[in-house]
Amino acid sequence: MYHLDCKCLLKRDGEFVISQGRVKLLMLIEKTGSLSESAKELKMSYRHAWGIIKKIEEAAGFEVIRTHRGGSDKGGSVLTERGKELLNTYHELKREHSDKVYRNPSLTVDGVLCHGESILLIKRKNPPFEGDYALPGGFVEYGETVEEAVIREMKEETGLDCDIEKIVGVYSDPKRDPRGHTISVVFELKKRCGKLKASSDASEVRYFNTKDLPDLAFDHEKIIRDYLLSSGDQSVSNSCTL
């Protein structure tokens, strides 16, 4: 039975078989068809490379390469079927290990823009929640701050240029997005300029009175309720019929 430890060492019944270094040698043999060429590329002697192969075979319990000799600098080598299976096993287990260890939440932003007792919503053009309404927002791009992201998303989805007033809150329920774990930083915004126009991921953009809100995507019902309750205007808070 094979298993992969945290250092990405493939072991068989507790005995070390291959790690990234040995895998590199096997992959080069598969690519070049030559043990000697693979050894040269890894800057090791043919004898040392051959010794590594013998150690792999001893630990694995089967032949991993088949060689027809023609001198130390000639001849050819190929992985056996079981050698290929060993290589595939390593890659599959490493991928599974990486998914478990390095899986991280995705960072998103949402914007709350109000006008009187109305709040701006977009109608989603794409899954999930296609056709439902939501706060304008989206994923933070690499190298971008959350503040830059929410201003960009507002412009892309609504056509409006906005300024940030304050942070409404951070929402991190792992089940808030069916695509996977996302964390959203929600901002209250103020319109600076621009003409309301749906674009990007929005098929429609419009203001809704907080007394008559449509079905909302994700956890945006909770976000809007929290925002209204924190606004300090109890009459507006009580008017939210979510």
Helices (H) and strands (E) in the chain, counts: 7, 12
E strand or H helix that includes residue 52: helix 46-60
Question: Which sequence spans correspond to the domains of the chain?
Answer: 2-102, 106-239
Predicted pLDDT of residue 127: 85
Predicted pLDDT of residue 138: 94
* Non-local CB neighbours of 44 within 8 Å, separated by 6+ positions: none
Predicted pLDDT of residue 2: 60
Predicted pLDDT of residue 12: 87
Q: Which residues pair with 66 in a beta bridge?
A: 78
pTM: 0.59
Predicted pLDDT of residue 54: 95
What CATH code would you report for 106-239?
3.90.79.10
For the annotated catalytic residues, the residue numbers are: 204
Report residue 15 as tokens: 């005995």
Angle CA 166–217–208, to nearest 5: 65
Report residue 202 as tokens: 């929005």
Report residue 99 as tokens: 């998914």
Each residue's pLDDT tens digit in the chain (242 positions)? 665 555 678 888 888 899 888 999 999 999 999 999 999 999 999 999 999 999 999 999 999 999 876 554 455 899 999 999 999 998 888 877 776 666 789 999 999 999 999 999 999 988 899 999 999 999 999 899 999 999 999 999 999 999 999 999 999 999 999 988 999 999 999 999 999 998 877 899 999 999 899 999 999 999 999 999 998 654 443 333 33
In this structure, whether the domain defined by 2-102 belongs to CATH 3.40.1190.20 is answered with no
DSSP-derived letter for residue 110 is E
Predicted pLDDT of residue 179: 86
Predicted pLDDT of residue 241: 35
